[in-house]
Each structure stands twice: as C-alpha cells, then as structure tokens.
Structure 1
Amino acid sequence: MIDFNQLKNDIARTPVSGISEFLERAVEQKYQEYTHGELEQWTTLIEGLPKLETRVSDLTSGVSIGDSEALAQQLDETQKEKFVADLKQLHPWRKGPFNLFGIHIDTEWRSDWKWDRIIPHLSDLKHRTILDVGCGNGYHCWRMLGAGAKFVLGIDPSQKFLAQFAIMKKYLGPQPVHLLPLGIEDMPEDMPKSGFDTVFSMGVLYHRRSPIQHILALKNLLGRKGELVLETLVIDGDENQVLMPYDRYAQMRNVWFLPSVKALELWLKRCGFQSINTVDVTQTTIHEQRATEWMHFHSLENYLDPEDHDRTLEGYPAPKRATVIARV
C-alpha cells in the first residue's frame, strides 16, 4: 500500500531528504504494533479494484479523478455496482468530497469549503515541501499538489484513512504525494535545520492533552522562515479565555483545550512564532459537516442542541474553527 521506493525518490529532491530512512523505520515499527488484520483486509480490497485508465484528473478545483465516460467504457453496470460497493466498504468517508470516475463520494465533511477559505491567505505553495499533520485520508494533500506543491507528506495513524488515500493514489499514478500511518509523536525530534517549507495542522490541536507541546513539535518540523497553518476549535473571549470540557464536547471524548483566538495567538507567540495572522474564523454548520450515504453515522446535527444550534448538547458554544498562519 505504501511505495517506499517512490517516496525515497520524491523526498530525495527536497530539503527533508535526510529523514527518509527514519520514516521507513517508523512505519515498520507501526506495522508491528498493529494487533488486527484491518490493514491486510484493506490492502486486499484495493488490489482487487479494477484497473481503469485515467484520462483526465483535476486537483485544482477539487479532487476529480477519471470521468464517467471512461468508466462506462471499461466497466458494465454490474461491475460498476461492485466498484461502488467496494469503495463503500471503507465507510466512513470523513474528508472530501472526491469524484472518482464520475462516482461522487459525498463525504461527511465539505473539506473543499475549508480549503476555499484558507487558500487565498497562504503563501504561494508552488515548489514547496509540505507536511500535513493529522491529514485524514489526504484530501487536502491532493489540493496542495493541485496548488503547485513540489512534495507533500501527510501523516495520520488511521489504517482506514491510509486505505482511502491509497485508492486515489492507485488511479492518479505516481505523484509526489504520500501518506504514512504515523502521528506527530512518531516524527524525528532532530529534524534537519532546512525542515519543511509549510506545515499544516488542521483539526488536531484540541485533541492534544498538551497543546503547547503540539505547537512546539510543529515548529520543530519547520525549516527557516517556514510557515505554519494551524486550524482548531476556538471560543470567544480574551487572551486568558480557554475552555476545557468537563467530559465530552459535541459528544467527543478526546477534546481537551479550546482557546479563544487571542489565547491561541498568544500560545503561538510564546512558542516563538512570528507574523501571527488569524485569517479565518467560521462556525461549523450542519451543511459543512453532516451524515451522507458514504458516512451514515451520527454527525454534527446530532451533537448540537436541537433547540439552539449555537450550543452543543452539553451546553458549550457550538464548534467554531479558526485558522492561524504563522512563521518561524
């Protein structure tokens, strides 16, 4: 599922070429820690997917791979139905959407909306070496490539996300975009001083028991004059305002700290970041995060007060997300 030969070739032309062997060892260690056969199951599934000719693809306006006409010419209706059924075995599809040979994978999150809000504020991504921490199934990694990135590495420990990414990789062919089943704690502490040009961390910080340590770890992965794109849940308030839920937040157990925007900016400043700029603050709606036929578990609507969508079921402020761009 992971082509380390291609990874080595792609990373060799980047400022972080020195971590190639470290990453391979880290993934081998992660494989040894897996105690069930989920990854083997998904690998078998992907290998059994039909070989399809990809005539066109678009990673600029979305993630669109192949077209319906090509699919119709290569698969009959029964084969197409099986193709869709196989893709749905990887439920839940969280981040997207994807258009795969005319098949609309309608994911829980409209991740394209988030990208559209962020991309106008980013430095030109052309020729940049990028790390996406907690990348999910890699949707935004493909958008980064579409924006001209030279090399994109996504890390996320979920085996299912790795499998979803591998499907897109199968049909897009060799591209300088890779996903490894690692967490940020699995990344090297002694990074080369060159480091990554841009590091993304979106939807991760509030899951960390120590947000300051997470920010410092992100900083460690950046090169000189590197750019951090940090997106997380926030609340209203001054620089001293931080919410720590008693138990669950929007029915999520693993939520620890929700700072105000000003507190988040202060955290970044104390960690040594400069040029700190909050570029977007948006309350998540039930139209941006919702259940679909590709993710039919409960979603945001089930986690909000049915009488007041500005509050969670627990009575906390409804999810609001801020994106901050900062430099070292």
Structure 2
Amino acid sequence: MTGGLGTALETFDRWVARGDFTLEGLGRFRVLFATYALLRLPNFAWASSFPDALYAPPPGLMTLFDGFPPSAVLTGLELLLAVALMAVLVGWRTRPASLVVTAVLVLGHGFTYSLGKIDHAILFFLLPAFLAFAGWDGAWSVDAARERASRTVRHWVLRAYALTVGIAMATAALPKARGGWLSPDSHAVWSQLLIDQQVRQVDTVLGARLVQLDVPVLWEVVDWLTVGLEGVLIVSVLWWPLFRLVLAGLALFHLGVLLTLDIAFVGNLLAYGAFVRWDRVSLPAAGVRARVRPRLRRVPEVAMALAVTVSGIGWYLLPDVPHVGGVLRYGVTWTGAGVGAWYLARQAHRAVRAVGRSTRPAASDA
C-alpha cells in the first residue's frame, strides 16, 4: 500500500513540475502585463462618494469593513498600485511588488464591487501573485541583472494557476449547463443576442446580421460550444498541449463575443497569455541587454527605489489618454484571437504532416 502511494506521489510530482516555459518567456510576459496595467490604471476613489448605507460587500474579505474608506485612502491605493506596477515593469523587487499589485487590485476593486456591480476580473488580479513565484523576474528585469532573481521556472506554480483558470471557467460553464443551455428547446446565445438588438439597442459589428439567422441547429451548436469550451478547460490542465489548444479556442470565442454582444474579456485573455511561449518571438535586443545589465548593477538601491517611485507617481498624475480603453479593448482581443488562430493552424499543420508521414508507404514496399 505504501509503495503504491509513493509511486502515485512520484507520478504526481513529475506531472506537476512538467512544462516547457522559460525565464525569458515569463520575463517578456511580465513586461506586457505591466504595460497594459499601467495604461489601464483603475479608479477607486469614486466609491468614497457613496454613503455607507449602500455598502453591500460580496462574501469574503470586504465583509470586514463597515463602509467605504475616505477618498484619500482610495487615492493612496491608486498611487501605490502605480508605483508597484512600475516596479513590476522594470523588474525591481519584482516578487514583493507583484504581491502588492494583487493585494491592491483585490482590495480596491473590492470596495467598488461593494456597490453591487462586479466585473469578473479575478484571474487578472491573481496573475501577478502566481507569476511572482513562477519566475517572471528571471529575465528582462533589474533583479536578473543584479543576480537576485529566479534561476529556474517553477512549473508547478504555473500548473496551479492553470488549474485556477480552469476552475473559474468551470464555474461559468456549470450554471449554463444546469440552466438549460444544453436543451434543444432553448437557444441561449441567440436569445441574448435578440435582447441586445431589439431591447437594449446594442450596436455591434456582427450582432444585427447574426440575429436574423433563424437557424435553430446553428444556435444550439453555439450553445454547446460555449459550455464545452468553458467546461473542458479544467480537464485539459492535465496536458499542456491540450490546455493551450483550448485556450486558443477560447481566445477566438472571446473575439466572437465582443463582435456580437459587445462584451470584452480582456482580463481573461491576459490570463491566457501567461501560458504563451513568448520566448519564441524573435527580438533584436540581445546587444542592448548586454550593455544595459552592467549599468543596472551599478545603480544604488536607494536611487532605484526613488526612480521607480517617482516614475510611478508621475505616470499616475499624467492626464488620461483619450480612447485608450477602447483601443486596448479591441487591440488585446484581436491580438489574442490572432495568436489563438495561429496556434491552432500550426497544430493542425503538424497533425496533417504527421498523418502524411504515417500513411506514406515505406521505400521497401515500393
């Protein structure tokens, strides 16, 4: 019995530590994540203008508070977030800065969500905390230049985050399955599209055209695909190639949702981005990095802290860039769909070639 348990644990250990991620790829993704987050700094302070009588926190941490904090406190959280994100961007004290980013995002949005409207962005909020321990400080960072960063990728952390993403998507699939989405008598997606077009007057690229397609079989297939994609992700965590295939399908799915229902899942797409092999993208930066690394080692710690703090506060004080939200909304969604389509096409090409090789007659048979 003990031997069997030991073998099972060894198998689990090998599985959870298996992966092909690199410090280079995680470092590049860290820069992408921090850049996006700095361009989309949240506003928490507006929640302080509401009376405490309207404070209705969701279950969890926010129930420890009796009401909304003063505006100065929420503004302080915004400033702290900007500074922490700047530290994550340059990779200075990356791990504590990443944990601060997650803590501030959860706390700040916890107050804004306590008014009743909740945006399901928890995967985006948790991402820095997970990747802080996965090794995204190991490249493209001040910490790496000073040789105090991660030297190996902790694949088990990425596996844990993948499981978190899978569970989150499963919680979206299960209510749909129980609510009748799989019933041939109901067409949930078409019904939602009909409401958006006829009642809410939502103007989307494809909505007005697709709502006219009275094809029950088509809409039932869409319902099943929606539930299937969201539900199968948690199972695909068992094997990285399958997990990435499902993520690629979800990226295309999110583009379709944006173009038909005007609902963007940018936070989800960024969460999927953590599992992309960014190190395979060619960048002509090796020479620049070789020259910069020695200089970063010579910068005093106090000077680096001051530079990060001033840069973060300065960025926070800059006026908002007009329309940046809309540009990023569509830009990230289209980019995610493009990466997903490329990955699916690449895997399909490999599969076709593999089948061709297996069916080709051997030379001795000719």
TM-score bucket of the superposed structures, by smaller chain:
under 0.3
Q: Which has the larger radius of gyration?
A: 2
Higher relative contact order (CA 8 A, sep 6+): 2
Instruction: Flag the structure with higher strand content.
Output: 1
Q: TM-score, normalised by structure 1?
A: 0.23
